[in-house]
Amino acid sequence: MTRAVVHRACHLCEASCGLTFEVEGDRIASVRNDPDDPFSRGFCCPKGLALARLHHAPDRLTTPLVRRADGTFAEASWPAALDRAAEGLAAVIARHGLDALGVYVGNPVVHNLGAMVGTEVFRALFPTRNRYSANSQDVNPHLLVNLLMFGMQLAQPVPDLDRTRWLLVVGANPLVSNGSLMTAPRVGARLRALRARGGTLVVVDPRRTETARLADEHLPLRPGADALLLLALAREVLAQGLEDRAFLGRWCQGHERLPALLAPFTPERVAPHLGLGEGAPATVRRLARALATTRPAAVYLRLGPCNTTTGGLAVWAGHLLNLLTGNVDRAGGVLFPEGPLSWLFRLRFARGSFDAYRSPQGRPELAGEYPCSILAEQVERGLADPAAPEALRALVVFAGNPVLSAPNGRRLARALDALECVVAVDTSLSATARHAHVVLPPRSVLHDGGCDPVFPHFAVEDVARWTPPVVAPPPGSVSEYEAIARLAQGVWRRAPRDPRRQGRLLGLLARAAPRLSPEALAALGLRLGPRRLSRARLAAHPHGHPARPLAEGRLARRLFTADGKVALAPGPLVADLDRLVATLAAPPAPGGLVLIGRRQLRTNNSWIHLPGPRCTLLVHPEDARARGLATGSRAVIASRVGEVQVEVEVTDDVSPGVVSLPHGRGHPSVNDLTDDARHDPLTGSSALNGVPVTLAPAAADLHPAGAESAADLVPGR
């Protein structure tokens, strides 16, 4: 049989590497890296090369499942399953009101054009306050700080890796992640090129990560101290008179307030909390001077600081450092990508919101969502009080697995079992989908085409692609968009009207939803974009439209503040400083262990796990000796909310007092240890790093960890 060749970007992570598929009929025969892709230039990671196995995985669901009275699942037709799901959700709305319906959007949605359009349609038709997503385990601090400083939650500047000369990486491991909020395939080659041209790479991380091993300097910061370090650096830039006053005067407001606001964060006061030893004050001063006097330079923060109790303040401090040194909108500093759909940023609904209303627990909404850490409590409130406002009674989960990704997963699993109706739109029977009453499995994303609506807007080069289908969809299969749109229409027809569900436009949307085409909408969006691209023009470049370096001069187009200037001292961030200043008054808590996560190259969040390195708990030799542990021994690690048994790996890659366990399917569930009571009160982000834990040798067969094998590989979405 003749093999067809299709070029397409990988959809598994933000790097979006170019891949070449060889197809025989309805089978993907091979997947390899595409050396002609203008962005990734032949790079891809093991997950991308495994897409054929993921696509054809035997446990991929192809038929809807409906729960029987005895708790087991039975296969059902699409019409029957959609009817059952719509009836269950509409009945909850009828009995308890619109806010009894919850919506959870998982990480894979942003990698799938149809899923993104579909979930936005569903949330527009059912504007419940019980909206959740993976954001509160991930990007909430960035969204909030961007909104407060630039007036737009997605106004995210990214490091200009290919031209910078000094790069500070805080709580990120881009050599494994290929960047996050910094789409950067070949990031290892880019960082090596930085050093080859005489530049400097400094990595701040509690663990000596793969990126830290490549760096000129690694600072093993104590988990959770990111905001203290970064604010001290910002203070030192000001104290040494190294700020770029011309840039600040032209583009920023609030500069005059910063010296007083940052005054408490002297190198000497923060030093005991950093875990960097007696030389910490000198290190802070040296780094501040190097950052401010090297042209150009950039600061990049990612998941580590976001997953702490002060994530918002840490991200704010990172922005302050780039702004104070005049490295925003400067080649080699941090620049704003111009994605093909960036015109959407100018629409008011896309700019974001904060604290427009609050949850019953007093948590402010962010981007129209509550934090996932209250999801289980929202269910439990309804069980304790049938009249509780906003109590959760039903949940729709779009491509998400919060039972394995949200904190205190066991509590959430119990809560899901108490719901009146759970619907999962998913391609596998995940840890979350197992609690559903109806599972709706869309076909593979490789069956559909379109363009990437998200990650070109965070890329280190200006990129654009049109991705064709790799294989024809099977007869009778349903796309992710169609599944969501038909479900939304079914619930709309059955549910009673609510004041938030009135209006001619919503009615038109409900009627037209199943007939809309995400691909056609994307093609129209390309035409309206800054580069006036067309689907045909992109299709003429099957490997990808030629990439080009990011340009200066885009800051003005990313500012949506009332005065057209960057707000250096937004009120909510300034108010939150008091909480951090209070920590300086008390010495750090002595002793004890804290848990941090880690990313592995062969896993992808909670939904893909390729065979490879075993899941081990990294323990420093001093901590291992104190507890009688050795590499290969089993140990029980416990937190306030639970415990798991793990295999120990003794290494000085982690600092004394720090242990590290990866997150993902097939692993001991780290979210059985993460505590839903620990969060950043400003952004709602779960504090998944720095969790206090205890560690002891395990008794035989106590909570044995799940086996890791090829069977743990799950379908890609």
Q: What is the 3-state secondary structure (H, E, C) of 151-202?
A: CCCCCCCEECCCCCCEEEEECCCHHHHCCCCCECCCHHHHHHHHHHCCCEEE
Average pLDDT over all residues of the chain: 93
Residue 326 has pLDDT above 50, yes or no: yes
Contact 327, 333 (CB under 8 A): yes
Pairing of strands 566-567, 252-253: parallel
DSSP β-ladder status, 421-425 and 438-440: parallel
* Half-sphere exposure (Cβ direction) of 326: Cα atoms closer than 13 Å: 14
Cα–Cα distance, 576 to 231 (Å, whole number) = 13
Q: Which element (helix H / strand E) includes 261?
A: helix 258-262
Q: Distance between CA atoms of 255 and 544, rounded to whole angstroms?
A: 42
Helix axes 226-239, 280-293, angle to 10 degrees: 60
Q: Is the peptide bond before 662 cis (omega within 30 degrees of 0)?
A: no
Distance from C-alpha of 276 to C-alpha of 111, rounded to nearest angstrom = 38
**Closest by alpha carbon to 36, among 5, 13, 12?**
5
Q: Rounded distance, CA 163 to CA 150, Å?
A: 24
- Which of 237, 260, 234, 225 minimizes the C-alpha distance to 580? 225
DSSP secondary structure letter of residue 350: G
pLDDT band at 608 (very low <50, low <70, confident <90, very high): low
pLDDT computed for residue 711 by the predictor: 33
Instruction: Report residue 201's pLDDT band, with 50, 70 and 90 as the boundaries.
Output: very high
Q: Do 65-138+343-445+475-515 and 141-339+556-581 share a fold?
A: no
d(C-alpha 172, C-alpha 302), whole Å: 5
Residue pair 397/106 in contact by the 8 Å Cβ criterion: yes
- Compute, in degrees rounded to 10, the torsion defined by CA atoms 409, 415, 416, 418: 160
Task: Tell me the mean pLDDT in the region 274-281.
Answer: 96
Residue 634, pLDDT > 60, answer yes
Rounded Cα distance, 139 and 119, in Å: 19
Fold of 593-712: Barwin-like endoglucanases (2.40.40)
Question: Rounded mean pLDDT of 306-331?
Answer: 98
Confidence of residue 707 (pLDDT cuts 50, 70, 90): very low
Residues in the chain: 717
| pLDDT over 80 at 607, yes or no | no
Q: Do 98 and 465 meet the contact criterion of CB atoms below 8 Å apart?
A: no
Residue with the bigger pLDDT between 608 and 3: it is 3
The candidate with the shortest Cα–Cα distance to 45, out of 31, 57, 55, is: 31
**Confidence at residue 702, expressed as pLDDT on a 0 to 100 scale:** 42
Q: How far apart are CA 359 and CA 372, in angstroms?
A: 12
Q: How confident is the model at residue 716 (pLDDT cuts 50, 70, 90)?
A: very low
Average pLDDT over residues 648-675: 88
Q: Where are the alpha helices (DSSP H) in 400-550?
A: 402-405, 409-417, 480-494, 504-512, 518-528, 535-539
Q: Which amino acid, residue 332?
A: G
H or E element that contains 212:
helix 210-214
**Does domain 65-138+343-445+475-515 correspond to CATH entry 3.40.640.10?**
no
Percent of the chain with pLDDT over 70: 95
Residues 225/273, Cβ–Cβ less than 8 Å: yes
pLDDT-derived band at 388 (thresholds 50, 70, 90) equals very high
Q: Which helix H or strand E contains 150, and what residues bound it?
A: helix 140-150
pLDDT at position 329: 98
Q: Could you tell me the pLDDT band of residue 669, with boundaries at 50, 70 and 90?
A: confident
The whole-angstrom separation of Cα 16 and Cα 452 is 9
Domain ranges (residues) in the chain: 4-55, 65-138+343-445+475-515, 141-339+556-581, 593-712
User: What's the one-letter identity of residue 79?
Assistant: P
Q: What is the mean pLDDT of residues 13-21?
A: 94
Q: Whole-angstrom Cα distance, residue 242 to residue 238?
A: 6
Which sign, positive or negative, has the C-alpha torsion 19, 22, 23, 29? negative
Mean pLDDT of 633-660: 96
Q: Give the pLDDT mean for 192-208.
A: 97
Amino acid code (one letter) for 66 = V
The pLDDT, as a whole number, for residue 529 is 85
pLDDT at position 663: 81
Q: In this predicted structure, what is the pLDDT of residue 479?
A: 97
What pLDDT was estimated at residue 613? 63
Q: For 141-339+556-581, CATH number?
A: 3.40.228.10
The DSSP result for 73-139, as a single string, is EEE--HHHHHHHHHHHHHHHHHHH-GGGEEEEE-GGGGG-HHHHHHHHHHHHHS--S-EEEGGGGTT
Q: Mean pLDDT lowest for which of 230-244, 398-412, 579-593?
A: 579-593
Closest CA to 430 of 406, 447, 453: 406
Phi, psi for 542 (deg, rounded to 5): -60, -25
Helices 311-324 & 226-239 angle (0-180, nearest 10): 30
Lowest mean pLDDT among 293-297, 319-323, 464-468: 464-468
pLDDT at 530: 82
User: Which of 390-399, 524-533, 611-620, 679-688 is the least confident region?
Assistant: 611-620
Total Cβ atoms within 10 A of residue 252: 20
Phi-psi region of 538 (alpha: psi -120 to 50; beta: other; left: phi over 0): alpha
pLDDT tens digits along 99-128: 999 999 999 999 999 999 999 999 999 999
For domain 4-55, the CATH architecture is Single Sheet (2.20)
Burial 88-120 (b: 16+ CB within 10 A, else e): bbbbbbeebbbbbbbbbbbbbbbbbbbbbbbbe
- Mean pLDDT lowest among 26-35, 541-550, 559-568, 660-669: 660-669
